[in-house]
Structures are given as C-alpha cells and as structure tokens.
Amino acid sequence: MKHKHIQHLYRRMGFGILPDNLEKLSKLKRKEVVNTLFKASKNTTLLELDTSELKRLMGDSYISAKPNIQKIQKLSRLSTQKLNHAWIERLTNPKELVREKMTLFWANHFVCEDNNFLYTQNFHNTLRKHALGNFRDFVVAVSKQAAMTKYLNTKQNKKEKPNENFARELMELFTLGVGHYTEQDIKESAKAFTGYSHNMQGDFVFRRRVHHQGQKTFFGKTGNFNGDDIIDIILEQKRCAEFICEKIYRYFVNDTLNNSHVQAMIEVFYKNYNIEQLMHFVCSSNWFYNEENIGTKIKSPIEFLVGIKTIVPVAFKNKRQLLNLQRLLGQILLDPPNVAGWKGGQNWIDSNTITLRLKLPSLLLNSSYISNSRTEETDDQIEEKKQFFKRNYGRRFNVESNWNYFNQQFRNVNMNELDSHILACNMSQVARGYLNTLEKVSKQEYCIQLMSLPEYQMC
C-alpha cells in the first residue's frame, strides 16, 4: 500500500502514523492494512478513574446524598478535569485506535454533559463500548444513560405531562435530521419514553407508574409502544441510515458529500446497522483515497493538539493549562457548547484561533522561537530570545517536550523528507518560499517550522 494512502488512513481513523510503523505497513496490501487496523479495535478498554469516594458520598438515594452535595459537586468537577486530561492521553497513545477515534466522533453526535462525574464517565464509556457495534443497540443504550435522561429531561417525562426534549433530539440530532418527522411524531414518541429514570448510582430505572400505557401512533404505526419500539420504528426508515452515513462521510472523508459514495455506504449500513462493517467499507473503498479527499479537512482542535503530541510527546506540568488551551482553541472535551455539538469544518477557524494554531507548535516545543537565516544570530542571541518567550508564555504553557522520542522515531527520515510525514497536503509556493528563508539547523527545528504552516491545519 502506498505511503501516502496509509498516512491518509491513519490521519482520518486516528491522529497520524510514525515512520517505522508506516514502513512496516507499506509492505502489505490495502486489505491487510485495513484488517489490521480494525482487528486492533475489537476489544474495548474502558477509560475509568476511581469513583469509590464519589459513590460513597452519593449513597443510594437523594436523601443520603443531600448532606454531601457540595463535596459531590467539587469532586465531580475535579474528576471531570482529570478525565479530560486522561482522554487526551488516551487519544495520543490508544490501544484501539479506530475505536477511540469513533468515540470522539460519537461524543459530538450523541451530545451530552452532566455535572455528576459518575454519570459522565459511564456515558462516555458507553460511547466507547458501542462505537463500532450495532447502531440500534447503541441508540437504546444512550437513551437509558443517566447523563442523557438528565440532559434531555427524560426524567421529567411523565404520562400526566410528557416532556418532548429527548424525543425531539432523538430524531432531529441522533437519527433522522431536521424535517423528516412531524410534531405529532414527537408528541407520540415522547409518551413512549415516559417513566425513564435512574437510581443514585446511575443505573437505569423504568418507573412503570408514570409510563404512558395507552396507544401511540408513530410513523403510521399504532401500538402500546415503549422507547425501544420507537427506536426500532425509526431505524426502519432508510433516512436514518442516510443521515448517519452523511455525517460519517463529512467527518471521515470530505465536508462536501459525494452522493454516489454516500449511497454505497447507505446500502451497506441499512442492511444491519453494523458500524464496524460500514467503517471497514469506507476505509477499503478506492474513493476514500481519491486526491480530493486527502489533506482537505481542517483538523478539529483536539485532532490538532493530539497530532502534535503524537509526533513530539508534550507533557503539561499544570493540567489546567491543557484545559485552558482547549478553551482557546474552541473545543473542550466533555464540555460541548450545546446539544447540537461543535459544527466543525471551517467553523474551527477564526482570526483568533488561526493565530494561536500557527504559533502553538513553537510555543509548546521551542519557547516560541523559530530560527531565521536572514538575521545572523549568535547562540547567545537565540538563547536570549528563547528565555524571553519562556518568561512571557511559560505560565500559560508550562510543558516538557520529549524530543528524544521524536529523534528516535524519525532517525531514518532525511530532513528533506520530513514534510511528507508532517503535512497531509502539498505546500503552497508561498509556504515553500517562506520555509526557504528559514535556517534548518536540525530536524527538530524543521519539524516546528512545518507545524507552524497553514498546511499543518489540514488532515
């Protein structure tokens, strides 16, 4: 398989690939490379922090938890910050690469947040478990998560006064998209989800006494439907497969839909709603590797940050700085902007974020200094500039960069070949001209220079 195609595959289904692994895989055929990639994601490694203290404070009821509310909230805030950092590290060093990238994708599809860390952790591990499974089982599992029943008010959904929030978003955001259902469908399906709740520890509880037991008419069918029945009827609509395939195509292939490619995906997915089979089909298709799909997507802030850390491991001494950086870039894991999530694409870039993105590699990896051959600087002058930037930016980004790892991974890569490993798209004449003005004193320096180009924003 061609180097360029392997790199494209690993940038879209992960966050990049290092030279040694690239060289090994290049000896294999595409089918073998794709099979190897998916085989590594068969298992699920949950991302779990210790919740024993939180569970103890919560007890088994609201009455037992009430005296500890402030402690529970404080511990949840701290634990959520730790989980954010742990998730970034997991994405940088994943055992199951495709599963982790899919978990990131689904977190911006089944958008949810909660101020109780136990529920937050359970919800995101549910995304992880089902990320490559059956979509029907996935939707059912999400509908019964404590974080979701709180976030979209299913807990307040009772037969006397149905709450339509979850029923609406289930169709609008999770399965069908705007305009493919009626207001009456929302009202009827909301009745089916009455009685959904959870206990203090976050386990699903069905409260039969507040469930609407009567007939509901939904998408032309009438029966005493429950929530699972509603999901089954939704998945019978081919529009559901179309909606998910369009979203996956935009995320993993191209922001602009190719109708024939999407239609081929729909035919695969609609048969049994198997997510892994769909993704395997995408990665095995010739069109996935077309030139118009390579290096044409803007990296999300997380993809951008994890991509840097994949090439040069960066450790944040102050974990809150990592959160602050995500905030400045416009994407904080576990803290979506609203129920629709992040819009993505060109929305990732504005005048503020592009300035930070272009400066960030040098801020994190070289005290913000880039060598310039037009000014013949002495070693003392270079060090003075580095110290200046360290004093001014050090408190914002106090990090340790593992250049030994980079040197080991790129030991067999010539400096003139480095751009083919760092960049997903070809350099413009302007970028190449700019690079020619800079002094290439080492692979490290050249790596930072490449990461500071607009082209590095693409994957």
- pLDDT digits 0-9 by tens, 323-359: 999 999 999 999 999 999 999 999 999 999 999 999 9
Q: What are phi and psi of 216, to 5 degrees?
A: -130, 140
Please give the share of the chain, as a percent, with pLDDT higher than 90.
90
**Main-chain dihedrals φ then ψ at residue 68, nearest 5 degrees:** -110, 15
- Mean pLDDT within 401-405: 96
392 within domain boundaries: yes
- What is the pLDDT averaged over residues 8-18? 98
Cβ neighbours of residue 360 closer than 8 Å, sequence gap 6 or more: 304, 308, 325
Q: Assess whether pLDDT exceeds 60 at residue 385.
A: no
- Distances from the Cα of 252 to the Cαs of 13, 216, 256, 448, in angstroms? 7, 38, 11, 26
What pLDDT does 396 receive?
64
Residue 223 within a domain? no
Instruction: Tell me if 59 is assigned to some domain.
Output: no
Side chain identity at residue 391, one-letter code: R
Degrees (nearest 5) of the Cα angle 94, 98, 101? 80
170 domain-assigned: no
- Round to whole Å and give the CA distance between 221 and 234: 11
Q: Has residue 390 been placed in a domain?
A: yes
Q: pLDDT tens for residues 197-207?
A: 999 999 999 99
Instruction: Give domain status of residue 74, yes or no.
Output: no
The model carries a pTM of 0.94
Statement: residue 368 has pLDDT above 60: no
pLDDT for 324: 93
Please check whether residue 145 is in contact with residue 112, taking contact to mean a CB–CB distance below 8 angstroms: yes
User: Which residue, among 446, 258, 313, has the nearest Cα to 370 in the 3D structure?
Assistant: 446
Domain count for the chain, please give it. Answer: 1
Does a structural domain hold residue 180?
no
pLDDT of amino acid 397 = 78
Kindly report, residue by residue over 224-266, the tens digit of the pLDDT.
999 999 999 999 999 999 999 999 999 999 999 999 999 999 9
Query: Which position has the higher pLDDT, 380 or 299?
Result: 299
The C-alpha angle 96, 98, 102, rounded to 5 degrees, equals 115
Can you give the residue range of the structural domain that contains 319?
301-457
pLDDT, tens digit, for every residue of 421-438? Answer: 999 999 999 999 988 888
Average pLDDT of the segment spanning 38-62: 97
- For residue 458, what are the β-bridge partners? 298
Phi, psi of 312 (to 5 degrees): -130, 105
Q: What is residue 127's predicted lDDT score, i.e. its pLDDT?
A: 98
Separation of alpha carbons 78 and 312, rounded Å:
27
pLDDT tens readout for residues 78-105: 999 999 999 999 999 999 999 999 999 9
Mean pLDDT, the chain, rounded, equals 94
pLDDT band at 175 (very low <50, low <70, confident <90, very high): very high
Report the pLDDT averaged over residues 8-16. Answer: 98
Domain assignment present for 261: no
